[in-house]
Amino acid sequence: MPAVVEAENLVKSYPGKVTLYNFSLTINEGEIFGLLGPNGAGKSTFIRILTGLEEADSGRIALFGGAPSRENRKKIGVAPQDNAVYPLLTCMENLLYFGSLYGVGGKKAKEKAEKLLVDLELSEKKNVQAGFLSGGMKRRLNLACALMHTPKLIILDEPTTGLDPSTRRKMWKTATEIVRESGATLLLTTHYMEEAEALCGRIAFINAGQVVAEGSPEELKRMAGREMAKVKSLPGEYAKLEPLLKGVNGVENVTVTEHGVVVESENIASKVGEITRIFGKSREKIIELSVSKPSLEDVFLKLTGAQLKEGVKVEPKK
Ligand SMILES: Nc1ncnc2c1ncn2[C@@H]1O[C@H](COP(=O)(O)OP(=O)(O)OP(=O)(O)O)[C@@H](O)[C@H]1O
Ligand SMILES: [Mg+2]
């Protein structure tokens, strides 16, 4: 699959601070790619560099397999973290204005705007000034504006921050449908781990201006450890159970603790039946059974330590 974005060793510093440091990332065509990281990690800075709002101090960027030229950047649609809509213009006027910036005008622009208003459930607000919309509606309009020119790369910087759970889910649905229908590539940033997991095929964790891990949600979760079942039983003669549990195909580790026995496996759900049978056959009565899987949050904490850091602090040059 061809790369839509290739960033290699980007460095960006502001006075007293290195915000991106040897930042490298590849995003392939048709992917939904998530950037996750704490406040100040450098996500929006990377987006500003990608879209040409700022320049990196050093490093290389390729867009759609070529240089980050004006032509190539026109194929990007970005919904920035801070809404870019004009408060005095109505929803329709905002959409037509953003369309015109990218050369979409006339009947085509009107049709596209009408469709986006329906998709993002803003039809009723078509002739209302953006300044009078609720926060969630402004967020949706911000997204619609980014889509007027049917971009090949859609960039959404925290599209769902501040939205209620049901609106958030609708936003996910709309975003994935748009990507599927148009064959676009989607890059998004979010602080919601469940959102990243539901939407993204691949995720990069950013910390202190660097990519610290990259992979599918499943791959990343595996980094945090295996899935496990904790079982407590009576009379609790776990030493006898240990070799039997270790003999189950796919079980990778068994640990006896003072609270019971912990069984680890890559896919613990498929082993629970056999585990409980072993307890039954050994005349052990299960009084507690819990299954846990590592979450994306576990991975993040494991990779970065308990402290989530902003960009690297450096002494200002004298
Ligand atoms: N124009 C600027 N001048 C000085 N410092 C800046 C500038 N833009 C960004 N920074 C700093 O760079 C760091 C990274 O900011 P950035 O907005 O990229 O973070 P982020 O990962 O998007 O965070 P958030 O999750 O809070 O949106 C921050 O410490 C920020 O203060
Ligand atoms: Mg940001």
Rounded to the nearest whole angstrom, what is the distance from the C-alpha of residue 298 to the centroid of ligand 2? 22
**DSSP class of residue 54?**
S
Residue 282 Cβ < 6 Å to ligand 1:
no
When pLDDT is averaged across residues 232-247 and rounded to a whole number, the result is 94
CB atoms within 5 A of ion ligand 2 belong to 43-44, 81
Residue 80 Cβ < 6 Å to ligand 1:
no
Any bridge partners for residue 88, and if so which?
Answer: none
In which band, very low, low, confident or very high, does the pLDDT at 308 lie, cut at 50, 70 and 90? Answer: very low
All structural domains of the chain with their residue ranges: 3-221, 226-293
Span of 21-25, 65-69, 181-185, 293-297 with lowest mean pLDDT: 293-297
Residue 132 Cβ < 6 Å to ligand 1:
no
When pLDDT is averaged across residues 298-314 and rounded to a whole number, the result is 58
What does the pLDDT read at residue 130? 96
Indicate the average pLDDT of the chain.
Answer: 90
Burial 10-47 (b: 16+ CB within 10 A, else e): bebbeeeebbbbebebbbebebbbbbbbbebbbbbbbb
In which band, very low, low, confident or very high, does the pLDDT at 1 lie, cut at 50, 70 and 90? Answer: low
Residue 311 Cβ < 6 Å to ligand 1:
yes
What does the pLDDT read at residue 315? 41
- Greatest mean pLDDT among 37-41, 80-84, 275-279: 275-279
Nearest to 121 by CA among 79, 170, 165, 82: 170
Rounded to the nearest whole angstrom, what is the distance from the C-alpha of residue 264 to the centroid of ligand 1? 40
**DSSP class of residue 225?**
-
Rounded to the nearest whole angstrom, what is the distance from the C-alpha of residue 23 to the centroid of ligand 1? 15
What does the pLDDT read at residue 312? 43
In the numeric block, the tokens 């796919």 are attached to 250
Q: What is the pTM for the complete model shown?
A: 0.83
Rounded to the nearest whole angstrom, what is the distance from the C-alpha of residue 306 to the centroid of ligand 2? 21
When pLDDT is averaged across residues 267-271 and rounded to a whole number, the result is 91
Q: Measured between alpha carbons, how far is 145 from 98 in angstroms, rounded to an integer? A: 6
Non-local (6+) Cβ contacts of 106 within 8 A are none
Give the 3-state secondary structure of residue 129: strand
pLDDT tens digits, one per residue of 58-103: 999 999 999 999 999 999 999 998 988 999 999 999 999 999 999 9
Q: Which atom of ligand 1 is nearest to the CA of 46?
A: 18
- Asked if residue 307 has pLDDT above 70, the reply is no
Rounded to the nearest whole angstrom, what is the distance from the C-alpha of residue 239 to the centroid of ligand 1? 54
Q: Do the strands 153-157 and 76-79 form a parallel or antiparallel pair, or are they unpaired?
A: parallel
Residue 209 Cβ < 6 Å to ligand 1:
no
What percentage of the chain carries pLDDT values higher than 90?
A: 70
Nearest to 12 by CA among 64, 38, 49: 49
Ligand nearest to the CA of 80: 2
Rounded to the nearest whole angstrom, what is the distance from the C-alpha of residue 251 to the centroid of ligand 1? 45
The CATH topology of domain 226-293 is Alpha-Beta Plaits (3.30.70)
Tell me phi and psi for residue 293, to 5 degrees: -120, 145
Q: Measured between alpha carbons, how far is 119 from 170 in angstroms, rounded to an integer? A: 10
Nearest to 140 by CA among 117, 108, 169: 117
Residue 81 Cβ < 6 Å to ligand 1:
yes
CATH number of 3-221: 3.40.50.300
**CB hemisphere CA count around 165 (13 angstroms):** 1
CB 81 within 8 A of CB 191: no
Residue 37 Cβ < 6 Å to ligand 1:
yes
Tell me phi and psi for residue 98, to 5 degrees: -65, -35
Residue 166 Cβ < 6 Å to ligand 1:
no
What does the pLDDT read at residue 181? 87
When pLDDT is averaged across residues 173-193 and rounded to a whole number, the result is 89
- Asked if residue 305 has pLDDT above 80, the reply is no
